[in-house]
């Protein structure tokens, strides 16, 4: 088409004319039908014609894949045992879940007893989409749960958009189990990334041969639409079939290895630590603690565990790539097609080196820290303190963090200012040593500085104004006529407590406590000290 031709078209358009007569489309329909038939034939599928259009249905032979749903339901975030499960994975013409992206292949799978059945629906032409969507809606049980991999973020919103495009409401279902968050939580520590292919190789020991790369898939389908030649789609259909089956395999793997606490001892400690977080996320702290304790036992086993912990490869985390600038729709942002590997780190890649990050690699001391946190959440503060002191034995940044936690517990729970100061000082020494080694932790340093200053000020105040404190305490206790036990000389009490806590560092667990007098002294001191730094204004902006 020449430029002049385009100008003429524009001129016609400006005058509101339809320039060339619209063709009747018979040829287009003929070609489209032929392509659909070829597609069905080459996939050994069935071309289903409905009043809304046609779609190709492919069903491969089913496979035996037993799963104990009752056992699985015991894990956090899992569907109830009675809900039918529908594994689902789509292949699309792009990665944006925007209006112009099409799901041209929807693979689904479900259990019938211990048999796993799989069906794939393919779109022969744009115009046939309502037929495919209607069939999919028919296959999703209203009480069923979807099982996907990143389906919450991608597959399902995309399908919802497709239904909306045709002004249909998306099919109802009872729940959605996205396995990606589970994998991130439990297994990510031993995988270089969280792609489904990596899950297959690391967790399931599978390796795909001659698999089609995700980034090629849109082109292959668009090519089919243009030429009507289905050969290039065969690999895509196979790829999707394997993806759906892997969803089922992954669920079975979780069910067998993790749903039964008898089997926990065989699992890598890092998995259990992640699982503990999943339990804790649902408020099941006791189970989380049990999980962590099994994990700790695992790390202390002389023999390596059955599944060795794969040392994660350190992948550079992209933080300052100018290509990553701007919002997600920006033209300058590279789309994430999941392949070809090695070009750049995927957002799923995580650094293994920074132990302060929540998503750092699992080590014994980090698991200890998790356990201490869980104990504190369960209200077992003394045990938590002991766990943290144990964790502090490992040295380094984590030890500093542990001492800070000890200081917090002592200051706020045990009202033991002296002990808190000792712990905070220990943390400060460790941070300082890290600084000397060239690993500066400015935020930690600043926080510690604050904490130390506050503790010293409070201690000094308690010592400098014992009489006033005492008077006020007595006044208040008489006014309230409550039975606060009075003890003469609050300052000596706090000094004794400080001394006691110093000794406690050497022998954790055995500490003389004089809680009554301490609490009184501290609460009186709290009264005179300025109000703790609140965060009342922090949420203002968002609340609006």
Partner 1 sequence: MRTYAPATTEAVLARLLEEPSLSAAVAHHALLPAREAVTAPFPAWLDPRIVRGLEGRGITSLYAHQAEAIEAVHAGEDVVVVTPTASGKTLCYALPVLQALAVDPSARALFLFPTKALGQDQVTEFAELARASELQVAAATYDGDTPAPIRSAIRTAGQVVVTNPDMLHAAILPHHTKWFQLFEQVQVIVIDELHTYRGVYGSHVANVLRRLLRLCRHYGSNPIIVCASATIGNPAELAAQLTGRSPRLIDRNGAPAGERHVLLVDPPLLDPATGARGSALTHAQRWALPFLRAGRQTIVFGRARVAVEIILTGLREALREHLGPRSRIRGYRGGYLPTERRAIERGLRDGEILGVVSTNALELGVDIGALDVSILAGYPGSIAGTWQQLGRAGRRQETSVGILVASGSPVDQYVIHHPEFLLEGTPEEARLDPDNLHVLLAHLRCATFEMPFEPGEVFGPGPVDDLLAFIAEEGHVRQANDGRWYWSSENFPASEVSLRTAAPENVVIIDTTPDRPRVIGEVDLFSAQVLVHTQAIYLHDSTQYHVDRLDWGERKAYVRRVDVDYYTYANRAVTLKPLDVFASAPATGGRRVHGEVMVASLVTLFKKLKFGTDENVGWGPIELPELELQTTAYWLTAEGASAGWRRDDLDVALIGAGRAIQAVAAVLLMVDPRDLGLVSQVRSPHHESPTIYLYEAVPGGVGLSERLWARHDELVAGARELIQACACDSGCPACTGPRLDPEVDAKALALRLLAAMDAAADPSTASTSDPAGSTAIAATR
Please identify which residue in 78, 97, 494, 504 interacts with partner 1, judged by CB under 8 A: 97
Residue 456 burial by CB count (10 A; 0-12/13-18/19+): exposed, middle or buried? Answer: middle
At 110, list the tokens: 């479900």
- Please give the residues from 164 up to 223 whose contact with partner 1 meets the rule CB under 8 A: 164-165, 167, 218-219, 222
Pairing mode of beta strands 53-64, 115-122:
antiparallel
Shortest reach from residue 189's CB to partner 1, in Å? 26
**Residue with smaller CB distance to partner 1, 181 or 355:** 181
Work out whether 16 is an interface residue with partner 1 (CB under 8 A): yes
* Helix, strand counts (H, E) of the chain: 20, 7
Helix H or strand E segment including 471: helix 466-480
Pairing mode of beta strands 115-122, 85-92:
unpaired
Three-class HEC string of 218-260 = HHHHHHHHHHCCCCCHHHHHHHHHHHHHHHHHHHHHHHHHHCC
What Rg value do the Cα atoms of the chain yield, rounded? 32
Choices 68-76, 229-237, 304-312, 319-327; region in contact with partner 1 by CB under 8 A: 319-327
- Please give the residues from 29 up to 88 whose contact with partner 1 meets the rule CB under 8 A: 29, 31-33
Longest Cα–Cα distance in the chain: 104
Shortest reach from residue 32's CB to partner 1, in Å? 4
Q: By three-state DSSP, how is residue 150 classified?
A: coil
Query: Strand pairing partners for 64?
Result: 115
Residue 508 burial by CB count (10 A; 0-12/13-18/19+): exposed, middle or buried? Answer: middle
At 239, list the tokens: 């790829």
| DSSP string of 68-132, one letter each residue | -HHHHHTSTTPPPTTSPEEEEEEEES-S--STT--EEEEEEEEEETTEEEEEEEE-SSGGGHHHH
Choices 65-73, 329-337, 364-372, 438-446; region in contact with partner 1 by CB under 8 A: 329-337
**Residue with smaller CB distance to partner 1, 22 or 210:** 22
Cβ atoms within 10 Å of 104's Cβ, excluding its own: 27
Please identify which residue in 320, 353, 507, 539 interacts with partner 1, judged by CB under 8 A: 320
Please identify which residue in 301, 318, 332, 439 interacts with partner 1, judged by CB under 8 A: 332
Please identify which residue in 66, 80, 153, 157 interacts with partner 1, judged by CB under 8 A: 157
Please identify which residue in 261, 282, 325, 354 interacts with partner 1, judged by CB under 8 A: 325
Separation between Cα atoms, residue 388 and residue 502, nearest integer Å: 16
Work out whether 538 is an interface residue with partner 1 (CB under 8 A): no
Shortest reach from residue 475's CB to partner 1, in Å? 44
**Residue with smaller CB distance to partner 1, 12 or 528:** 12
Give the neighbor-by-neighbor strand order of the sheet with 145-148. 46-50, 53-64, 115-122, 103-112, 85-92, 145-148, 175-178
Is residue 451 a contact partner of residue 424, using CB atoms and an 8 Å limit? yes
Cβ atoms within 10 Å of 238's Cβ, excluding its own: 17
Please identify which residue in 131, 132, 136, 161 interacts with partner 1, judged by CB under 8 A: 161
Half-sphere exposure of 41 (CA within 13 A, CB side): 8
- Please give the residues from 124 up to 143 whose contact with partner 1 meets the rule CB under 8 A: 125-128
Place of tokens 């009752």: 70
Shortest reach from residue 229's CB to partner 1, in Å? 15
Shortest reach from residue 329's CB to partner 1, in Å? 5
Place of tokens 């041969």: 209
Please identify which residue in 73, 137, 160, 307 interacts with partner 1, judged by CB under 8 A: 160
- Please give the residues from 221 up to 240 whose contact with partner 1 meets the rule CB under 8 A: 222, 225-226
Please identify which residue in 6, 81, 306, 502 interacts with partner 1, judged by CB under 8 A: 6
Helix H or strand E segment including 284: none
Shortest reach from residue 236's CB to partner 1, in Å? 14
**Residue with smaller CB distance to partner 1, 178 or 370:** 178
Q: By three-state DSSP, how is residue 354 classified?
A: coil
Is residue 189 a contact partner of residue 361, using CB atoms and an 8 Å limit? yes
Shortest reach from residue 506's CB to partner 1, in Å? 47
Shortest reach from residue 157's CB to partner 1, in Å? 8
Please identify which residue in 13, 70, 143, 313 interacts with partner 1, judged by CB under 8 A: 13
Shortest reach from residue 217's CB to partner 1, in Å? 9
**Residue with smaller CB distance to partner 1, 102 or 368:** 102
b/e per residue 209-221 (b: at least 16 CB within 10 A): eeebebebbbebb
Shortest reach from residue 184's CB to partner 1, in Å? 18
Shortest reach from residue 178's CB to partner 1, in Å? 16
**Residue with smaller CB distance to partner 1, 1 or 538:** 1
Tell me which residue of 216, 186, 226 sits closest to 203, measured CA to CA: 186
Shortest reach from residue 474's CB to partner 1, in Å? 47
Shortest reach from residue 348's CB to partner 1, in Å? 18
Separation between Cα atoms, residue 422 and residue 459, nearest integer Å: 12
**Residue with smaller CB distance to partner 1, 180 or 289:** 180
Work out whether 537 is an interface residue with partner 1 (CB under 8 A): no
Cα 352 to its chain centre, rounded Å, is 16
Choices 39-47, 163-171, 461-469, 522-530; region in contact with partner 1 by CB under 8 A: 163-171
Separation between Cα atoms, residue 247 and residue 254, nearest integer Å: 11
Please identify which residue in 77, 84, 94, 338 interacts with partner 1, judged by CB under 8 A: 94
**Residue with smaller CB distance to partner 1, 225 or 500:** 225
Please identify which residue in 65, 73, 96, 499 interacts with partner 1, judged by CB under 8 A: 96
Region of 360 on the Ramachandran plot (φ > 0 left; ψ -120 to 50 alpha; else beta): beta
The count of chain residues that interact with partner 1, using the rule CB under 8 A, is 55
Question: Could you list the residues that contact partner 1 (CB under 8 A)?
Answer: 1, 6-7, 9-10, 12-20, 22, 25, 28-29, 31-33, 93-100, 125-128, 157, 160-162, 164-165, 167, 218-219, 222, 225-226, 320, 322, 325-327, 329-332, 542
């Amino acid at each position: 088409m020449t430029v002049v031709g385009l100008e003429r078209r524009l001129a016609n358009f400006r005058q509101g004319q339809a320039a060339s007569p619209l063709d009747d489309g018979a040829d287009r329909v003929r070609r489209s039908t032929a392509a659909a038939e070829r597609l069905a034939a080459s996939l050994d599928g069935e071309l289903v014609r409905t009043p809304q259009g046609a779609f190709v249905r492919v069903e491969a032979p089913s496979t035996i894949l037993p799963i104990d749903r009752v056992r699985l339901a015991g894990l956090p975030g899992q569907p109830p045992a009675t809900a039918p499960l529908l594994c689902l994975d789509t292949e699309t013409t792009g990665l944006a879940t925007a209006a112009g992206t099409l799901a041209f292949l929807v693979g689904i799978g479900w259990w019938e007893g211990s048999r796993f059945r799989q069906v794939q629906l393919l779109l022969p032409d744009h115009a046939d989409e309502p037929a495919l969507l209607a069939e999919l809606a028919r296959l999703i049980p209203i009480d069923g749960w979807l099982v996907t991999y990143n389906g919450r973020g991608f597959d399902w919103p995309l399908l919802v958009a497709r239904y909306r495009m045709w002004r249909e409401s998306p099919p109802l279902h009872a729940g959605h189990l996205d396995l990606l968050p589970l994998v991130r939580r439990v297994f990510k520590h031993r995988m270089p990334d969280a792609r489904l292919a990596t899950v297959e190789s690391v967790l399931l020991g599978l390796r795909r041969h001659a698999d089609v790369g995700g980034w090629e898939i849109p082109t292959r389908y668009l090519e089919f639409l243009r030429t009507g030649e289905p050969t290039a789609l065969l690999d895509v259909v196979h790829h999707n079939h394997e993806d759906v089956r892997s969803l089922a395999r992954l669920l079975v793997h979780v069910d067998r290895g993790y749903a039964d606490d008898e089997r926990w001892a065989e699992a890598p400690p890092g998995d259990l630590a992640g699982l503990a977080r999943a339990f804790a996320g649902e408020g099941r702290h006791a189970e989380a603690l049990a999980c962590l304790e099994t994990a700790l036992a695992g790390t202390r086993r002389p023999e390596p565990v059955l599944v060795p912990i794969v040392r994660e490869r350190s992948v550079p985390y992209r933080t300052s790539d100018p290509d990553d600038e701007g919002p997600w729709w920006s033209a300058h942002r590279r789309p994430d097609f999941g392949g070809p590997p090695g070009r750049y780190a995927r957002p799923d890649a995580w650094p293994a080196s920074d132990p302060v990050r929540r998503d750092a690699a699992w080590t014994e001391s980090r698991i200890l820290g998790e356990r201490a946190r869980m104990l504190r959440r369960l209200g077992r503060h003394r045990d938590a303190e002991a766990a943290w002191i144990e964790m502090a034995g490992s040295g380094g940044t984590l030890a500093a963090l542990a001492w800070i936690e000890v200081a917090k517990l002592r200051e706020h729970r045990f009202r033991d200012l002296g002990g808190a100061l000792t712990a905070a000082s220990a943390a400060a020494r460790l941070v300082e040593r890290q600084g000397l080694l060239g690993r500066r932790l400015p935020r930690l340093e600043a926080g510690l500085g604050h904490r130390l200053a506050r503790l010293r000020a409070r201690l000094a105040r308690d010592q400098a104004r014992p009489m006033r404190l005492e008077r006020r305490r007595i006044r208040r206790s008489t006014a309230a006529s409550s039975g606060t036990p009075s003890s003469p000389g609050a300052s000596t009490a706090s000094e004794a407590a400080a001394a006691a806590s110093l000794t406690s560092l050497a022998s954790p667990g055995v500490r003389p406590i004089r809680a009554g007098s301490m609490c009184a002294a501290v609460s009186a001191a709290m009264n005179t000290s300025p109000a703790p730094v609140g965060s009342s204004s922090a949420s203002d902006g968002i609340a609006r």
